[in-house]
Amino acid sequence: MNPRLVLVLGDQLSPGVAALKAADKDRDVVVMAEVADEAGYVPHHPKKIALVLAAMRKHAERLRHDGWHVAYTRLDDPENTGSIAGELLRRAEEHRAGEVLATEPGEWRLIQLLDALPLTVRQLPDDRFVCSSAEFARWAEGRKSLRMEFFYREMRRKTGLLMEDGQPAGGQWNFDHENRKPAPGEVAYGGPMQFTPDAVVEEVLDLVEARFGGNFGDLRPFAFATEPGQARRALAHFVSGALPRFGDYQDAMLESSRTLYHAVISPYLNIGLLDPLEVCRAVEEAWQAGDVPINAAEGFIRQIIGWREFVRGIYMLQGADYTASNMLGHDRDLPAFFWGAETRMNCIAHTVAQTREDAYAHHIQRLMVTGNFALLAGIDPARVHEWYLAVYTDAFEWVEAPNTIGMSQFADGGVVGSKPYVSSGNYISKMSDYCRGCAYKVKDKTGPGACPFNLLYWHFLDRHRARFARNPRMAQMYRTWDRMDDARRRTILSEAGDWLARLDAGETV
Ligand code: FAD
Ligand code: DLZ
Ligand code: SF4
């Protein structure tokens, strides 16, 4: 019998991924390939490329050790065709294979590419999620709007996580009212576990430096986990050191602590070094042992079996055109300061600098600093999407696009969220210490030093009045706007327009 090819992509590094489960060790050939197309569909942060390639190399070695025949192509292999399709065709000829077993990729681009191959390709559902795409579609069917909270309750029931006799532990599904405290004075946690690069990682770092050193982002120091054992240690370190305070300070931002009490495990979850249920069980156990309060355990588990599963369901349900959504008709270019050019806005400068150095920013930095700015300023959501897909180590389209196009830019017209996440500088001032070191004054609503978020906030509401004024969750904002006297409203809009004109002219703003 001819062998079949078993495709394992760079974010499918789980030992029991669907294609491997369906394959036969004695007959089939695992295909893994480092290819220019995957490294180049957006200008990925060098840390992201290094993480994926180093973890792929180590995974291939584990598979070989387990008895699999692995045909592995390195990026600098002279026979490398440069694409997943090219590598599958080359390996098919080499091994006289006519059939490919694949785990469905997390990006429509690759799903379609596999469908178009002149080989028989079986794309098997990726069962590393609590909710399959088919189950999500059944849940979504007939609902007027899809809301994460109701989906999340189903996932709690399904997994039994934090459930007691069929009821939510602690008597409530959601403890968010206890979370969202402003930035603490200091952070009693040293941050995520760091790993010294071993020989495999060092070799990859040299390769990435040579090939992608010009991309936005610092390659070194590189301290990510690149194998499951390390990722599990990173998880245990977070659970014991940070999880108890995770809920309280989930939305806070501090110049002196980039990660506060966040886990920084999304890269590991998304490439398959950690399993989502394994993570949630570890959190539940810490709560059962009395080490972690319910608001932290529930808040964390909600991010994983709620948000993470929900956005994946939305991405698969919405189809390949989702990333082109632009319901608000925004068309401004992405400002150069997203790629590190100078800006006077301290919150943006800090978040972008951290992104450049760490390939990480936490949720509120992504949503309420860079995302909020892009939305208020009317930046083309496709450009915003490309940026987020490029700059974070955890960025894979199934999770990045619904967060960016949907939650952050409202470009899907309200599929992910019921209202746009917009705020004036006041929110950033309350939740962070960024405003203290800023050239703008957050208290100034107009005038030469006025915080641009203050001006652009009203500009956004005013220009999208027809769409949002009747949204009950936004009515209060419009009432406040309408109560201002005419002259003040005109001043705000004209100063916002001037500020945007300076931005468009390439001035340092
Ligand atoms: P923690 O705050 O410690 O949360 C724990 C885990 O919950 C995360 O590791 C993650 O797996 C999950 N999680 C939390 N929020 C979300 C969410 N909204 N969607 C999906 N999972 C979530 N997350 C990605 O994994 N990849 C992305 O490319 C990505 N792009 C984003 C783009 C924008 C504009 C926004 C607003 C959010 C994005 N997120 C993305 C969600 C979230 O910001 C990250 O998951 C989180 O910051 C990862 O850091 P952490 O592990 O420290 O998370
Ligand atoms: C992100 C990435 C990069 C940088 N390089 C590779 C690669 O060389 N080979 C590979 O199989 N996968 C890579 N990936 C991950 C894929 O882009 C990812 O599987 C798809 O975007 C689907 O989520
Ligand atoms: Fe950001 Fe405005 Fe605060 Fe400056 S004053 S840090 S621009 S919110």
Q: Does 205 score more than 90 pLDDT?
A: yes
Q: Share the mean pLDDT of the chain.
A: 97
Quote the percentage of the chain above a pLDDT of 70. 100
* Banded pLDDT at 178 (limits 50, 70, 90): confident
The DSSP symbol for 144 reads: S
Q: Does 245 score more than 90 pLDDT?
A: yes
Closest protein CA for atom 13 of ligand 2: 10
The DSSP symbol for 274 reads: S
Q: Which of 7, 8, 11 to mutate to test the pocket of ligand 2 (most atoms within 8 A of CB)?
A: 11
pLDDT of residue 179: 79
Ligand nearest the Cα of residue 260 is: 1
Q: Six-digit token pair at 180? A: 């969202």
Report, as an integer, the average pLDDT of 402-426. 97
| Three-state SS at 168 | strand
Report, as an integer, the average pLDDT of 308-319. 98
- Which atom of ligand 3 has the smallest separation from the CA of 345? 7
CATH 1.25.40.80 domain locations along the chain: 133-214+225-318
The neighbouring-strand residues paired with 249 are: none
**Distance, CA 440 to ligand 1 centroid (Å)?**
29
Q: Does 1 score more than 90 pLDDT?
A: no
Ligand 1 pocket check for 208: Cβ under 6 Å: no
Q: Does 230 score more than 90 pLDDT?
A: yes
Ligand 1 pocket check for 323: Cβ under 6 Å: no
> Measured over all CA atoms, what is the biggest interatomic distance in the chain, rounded to whole angstroms?
81
**Distance, CA 450 to ligand 3 centroid (Å)?**
9
Q: What is the dihedral of CA 92, 94, 96, 99, to 10 degrees?
A: -20
Tell me: the pLDDT tens digits for 89-109? 999 999 999 899 999 999 999
Tell me: the pLDDT tens digits for 268-281? 999 999 999 999 99
Closest protein CA for atom 51 of ligand 1: 264
- Nearest CA to 266 out of 316, 296, 311 is that of 311
Strands 5-7 and 99-103: parallel
**What gap in Å lies between CA 53 and CA 163, rounded to an integer?**
39
Closest protein CA for atom 20 of ligand 1: 308
Ligand 1 pocket check for 62: Cβ under 6 Å: no
- Nearest CA to 243 out of 194, 201, 280 is that of 280
**Distance, CA 9 to ligand 2 centroid (Å)?**
6
Q: Which of 130, 239, 363 to mutate to test the pocket of ligand 1 (most atoms within 8 A of CB)?
A: 363
Report, as an integer, the average pLDDT of 325-354. 98
Report, as an integer, the average pLDDT of 257-263. 95
**What gap in Å lies between CA 187 and CA 176, rounded to an integer?**
20
- Which atom of ligand 3 has the smallest separation from the CA of 439? 4
Q: Does 234 score more than 90 pLDDT?
A: yes
> What does CATH list as the number for 336-504?
1.10.579.10
pLDDT of residue 324: 98
> What does CATH list as the number for 5-124?
3.40.50.620
**What gap in Å lies between CA 347 and CA 340, rounded to an integer?**
13
- Which atom of ligand 3 has the smallest separation from the CA of 429? 3
- Which atom of ligand 1 has the smallest separation from the CA of 404? 34
* Banded pLDDT at 472 (limits 50, 70, 90): very high
**Distance, CA 286 to ligand 1 centroid (Å)?**
21
Ligand 1 pocket check for 297: Cβ under 6 Å: no
Strands in 29-33's sheet, in edge-to-edge order, are 69-73, 29-33, 5-7, 99-103, 120-124
Report, as an integer, the average pLDDT of 369-392. 98
Instruction: Specify the CATH class of 133-214+225-318 in words.
Output: mainly alpha
**Distance, CA 36 to ligand 2 centroid (Å)?**
10
How deeply is 360 buried, as exposed, middle or buried, from its count of CB atoms within 10 A (0-12, 13-18, 19+)?
buried
CATH 1.10.579.10 domain locations along the chain: 336-504
Report, as an integer, the average pLDDT of 119-129. 98
* Banded pLDDT at 349 (limits 50, 70, 90): very high
Residue type at position 444: D
DSSP states of 192-258? S------HHHHHHHHHHHHHHTTSSS---S-----SHHHHHHHHHHHHHHTHHHHTTTTT-BBTTBS
Report, as an integer, the average pLDDT of 26-32. 98
CATH 3.40.50.620 domain locations along the chain: 5-124
